[in-house]
Amino acid sequence: MSERETWSTDEFGALHTGEVGVLLADGTVPRPVIYDTSSSGAAHSVSHWSVYDGTLRAPRAHALRGVCSCGWTGPERLLEWDETDDPKLGRARVNVAIHCESDWWDMHLVEVEASAVPLPETITDLLSRLGEEIEKLGHTQPLAAVRAARKLEITAGDVALWPARNAWNDNSTVQIAAALGLNEADARHLLHRYSRYSRHNPYT
């Protein structure tokens, strides 16, 4: 496994896992950097953008960009380098990485949201207000907020039962995954859970 920093959302799962991608001056993506971690010869690989600084075994990054596990790539953002290692320029590189993460949230996740099956505005408003009310309750009555969240969880499972079963009957796994913004494995898992079907259900 290569150590790196990633981010994702609970709703869209593993299909959309973002990170800061690195590009070299020739436009290629560098391999993970391998470090020896003990005298026994054990190795540790790192692909976090910050290690590509032109020192030790790491090549120097030319640009950073937001990337996603689904294949999306954001705009290239060039890096500034200075041989004096000015701390301000170091901070500038951190800011470039932050912009790459913002590209993933503000560009890609907006597109993912738009491609998923739309929800009525009344539902999104109710969910938003309910979340705000439970959060507000948590400041003064944390146990009551936990109970409210638990009842919401139970309600969600109850009301999703027949819609989930109908979704199995009326759609392929590919269609379900596309509508929910998930990969097929996560879509099957979600529908199994909501429909309460066995994993050996013939509709899977």
pLDDT, one tens digit per residue, over 102-154 is 999 999 999 999 999 999 999 999 999 999 999 999 999 999 999 999 999 99
List helix spans (H) across 104-141: 109-115, 121-140
In the chain, where are the structural domains located? 2-115, 121-195
**Per-residue tokens: 60:** 């120097």
Largest CA distance in the chain: 65
Residue listed under structure tokens 């929910």? 180
With a cut of 50, list the residues of the chain below it in pLDDT. 1, 200, 202-204
Report the alpha-carbon distance of residue 89 to residue 79 in Å, rounded.
Answer: 9
User: 60: closest CA among 86, 26, 18, 88?
Assistant: 26
pLDDT of residue 90: 75
Quote the pLDDT of residue 88: 61
